[in-house]
């Protein structure tokens, strides 16, 4: 993706930010194109919300540069205020005005427009988000999902260049959360808005993001498509953060890591060097009478898959298998590895 103004919705370059002696954001750079959703994913305290606040102008920029639509909106000592950056924001706390109707909440940021156009915008975004029958209702009369839609409509009504979402769905129950996520993606894509989504939930980032930036201790560890981040993690941290992993340590011999499952190719490693094989539970495949014999310690039916806790060859592993009969605890099954879900990393 090009870095020129034509492809820039939001661009951060060399952003570093301290709170006292603590470096909360450490040389962060990325670009979000118009119509793209970038999921900024990481654990609590990694700096992702601070990054969003710097983009929004809610924190003074200490180092680096923020551009929106190719225009510099923040440098150290020189920044446009938030209301002049053409950004919309939705947070975990919807922050709706309880004394205003849905229509008035949506129109809140449209005071510069004539009354008739404000009402047209409110009706337009209410319709797009399924709120057309609630325009005269007050926030306390709405469900959590409807309140979230109102917050999104209010943020989108001014037609911002950039949308900033900070854990906006975490207060919703799981089934409603999936529905609202999908609806939000559809609306943002239709509007062509560059969107930065801050979340600690890997499923949310993969479900919504065109790309994912995994953040750790203020730095971006990996930035790529969901498929690449999941299928080819760049670091052990990135691999572990996206899902459960199995890990086996060994040494490189003849260009491969030697494991109980046999040699796993490992290009670029020095002969005899220590290394670690990481693989996701779905990499373990039943192999009938062949493969490594493992004892089933526990088997669970979890809807779309079965999860098995396995022991054998000095290993404790987790397997994720398609639905089917649960093997009995204590039974022995033979497993092989799907090499496409295997990652080899050096061990310091």
Q: How confident is the model at residue 341 (pLDDT cuts 50, 70, 90)?
A: confident
Which of 48-52, 311-315, 338-342 is least confident?
A: 338-342
Q: What pLDDT, in 10s, does the model give residues 1-19? A: 344 445 679 999 999 999 9
Per-residue model confidence (pLDDT) at position 2: 40
From edge to edge, which strands make up the β-sheet containing 306-312?
A: 284-286, 332-337, 292-301, 306-312, 315-321
Q: What pLDDT, in 10s, does the model give residues 136-159? A: 999 999 988 889 889 989 999 998
| Averaged pLDDT for residues 293-306 | 96
- Of the two residues 265 and 348, the one the predictor is more confident about is 265
Which of 164-178, 218-232, 279-293, 328-342 is least confident?
A: 164-178
Q: Looking at 61-205, which runs of residues are DSSP E strands?
A: 63-68, 71-75, 78-79, 87-91, 162-166, 194-199
340 close to 231: Cβ distance less than 8 angstroms: yes
- Tokens linked to 165: 């979402």
Res 348 pLDDT > 80? no
* Sequence ranges of the domains in the chain: 5-241, 245-346
Q: Give 165-182 as a DSSP string.
A: EESTTTTS-HHHHHHHHH
Dihedral (Cα; 25, 28, 31, 36), 10-degree rounding = -50
Q: What pLDDT, in 10s, does the model give residues 85-110? A: 999 999 877 789 999 999 999 999 89
Res 247 pLDDT > 70? yes
- Average model confidence (pLDDT) for the chain? 92
Nearest to 282, CA basis, from 335, 334, 320: 320
- So what's the architecture of 245-346 in CATH? Beta Barrel (2.40)
Tracing tokens 């992702």 back to the chain, one arrives at 48
Q: Looking at 208-245, which runs of residues are DSSP E strands?
A: 211-216, 219-224
Q: Give 289-320 as a DSSP string.
A: TSSEEEEEEEEEE-SSSEEEEEEETTEEEEEE
Q: Which residues pair with 236 in a beta bridge?
A: none
Q: Helix or strand or coil: residue 332? A: strand
| Averaged pLDDT for residues 264-271 | 91
CATH class of 5-241: alpha beta
Q: What pLDDT, in 10s, does the model give residues 21-75? A: 999 999 999 999 999 999 999 999 999 999 999 999 999 999 999 999 999 999 9
Per-residue model confidence (pLDDT) at position 7: 66
Task: Centre a 10 Å sphere on the Cβ of residue 152 and count the other Cβ atoms it contains.
Answer: 26
Q: How confident is the model at residue 178 (pLDDT cuts 50, 70, 90)?
A: confident
What percent of the chain is predicted at pLDDT more than 70? 98
- Of the two residues 201 and 177, the one the predictor is more confident about is 201
117 close to 109: Cβ distance less than 8 angstroms: no
Write the CB contacts of 83 (distance below 8 Å, at least 6 apart in sequence). Answer: none
Q: Looking at 4-161, which runs of residues are DSSP E strands?
A: 10-19, 22-32, 37-41, 63-68, 71-75, 78-79, 87-91
- What CA–CA distance (Å, rounded) separates 302 from 119? 47
Flag whether the pTM goes above 0.85: yes
**328 DSSP assignment:** P
Element (H, E) at 259: strand 256-259
């Amino acid at each position: 993706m090009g870095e020129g103004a034509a492809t820039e919705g939001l661009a951060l370059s060399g952003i570093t930010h301290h709170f006292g002696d603590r470096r909360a954001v450490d040389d962060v750079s990325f670009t979000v194109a118009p119509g793209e959703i970038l999921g900024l994913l990481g654990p609590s305290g990694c700096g992702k919300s601070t990054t969003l606040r710097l983009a929004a102008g809610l924190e003074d920029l200490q180092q680096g540069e923020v551009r929106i639509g190719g225009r510099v909106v923040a440098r150290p000592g020189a920044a446009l205020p938030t209301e002049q950056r053409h950004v919309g924001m939705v947070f975990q706390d919807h922050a709706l005005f309880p004394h205003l109707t849905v229509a008035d909440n949506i129109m809140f940021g449209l005071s510069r427009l004539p009354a008739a156009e404000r009402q047209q915008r409110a009706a337009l975004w209410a319709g797009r988000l399924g709120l057309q029958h609630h325009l005269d209702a007050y926030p306390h009369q709405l469900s959590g999902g409807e309140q979230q839609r109102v917050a999104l409509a209010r943020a989108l009504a001014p037609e911002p260049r950039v949308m900033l979402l900070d854990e906006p769905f975490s207060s919703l129950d799981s089934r409603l959360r999936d529905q609202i996520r999908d609806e939000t993606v559809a609306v943002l894509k239709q509007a062509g808005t560059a969107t930065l989504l801050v979340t600690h939930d890997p499923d949310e980032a993969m479900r919504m993001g065109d790309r994912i930036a995994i953040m750790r201790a203020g730095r971006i560890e990996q930035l790529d498509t969901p498929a690449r981040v999941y299928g080819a993690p760049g670091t052990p941290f990135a691999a572990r953060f996206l899902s459960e992993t199995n890990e086996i340590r060994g040494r490189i011999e003849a260009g491969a890591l030697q494991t109980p499952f046999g040699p796993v190719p490992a290009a670029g490693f020095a002969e005899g060097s220590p290394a670690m094989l990481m693989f996701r539970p779905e990499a373990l495949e039943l192999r009938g009478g062949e493969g490594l014999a493992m004892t089933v310690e526990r088997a669970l039916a979890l809807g779309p898959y079965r999860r098995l806790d396995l022991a054998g060859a000095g290993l404790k592993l987790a397997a994720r298998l398609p639905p089917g009969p649960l093997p009995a605890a204590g039974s022995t099954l033979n497993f092989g590895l799907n090499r496409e879900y295997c990652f080899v990393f050096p061990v310091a």
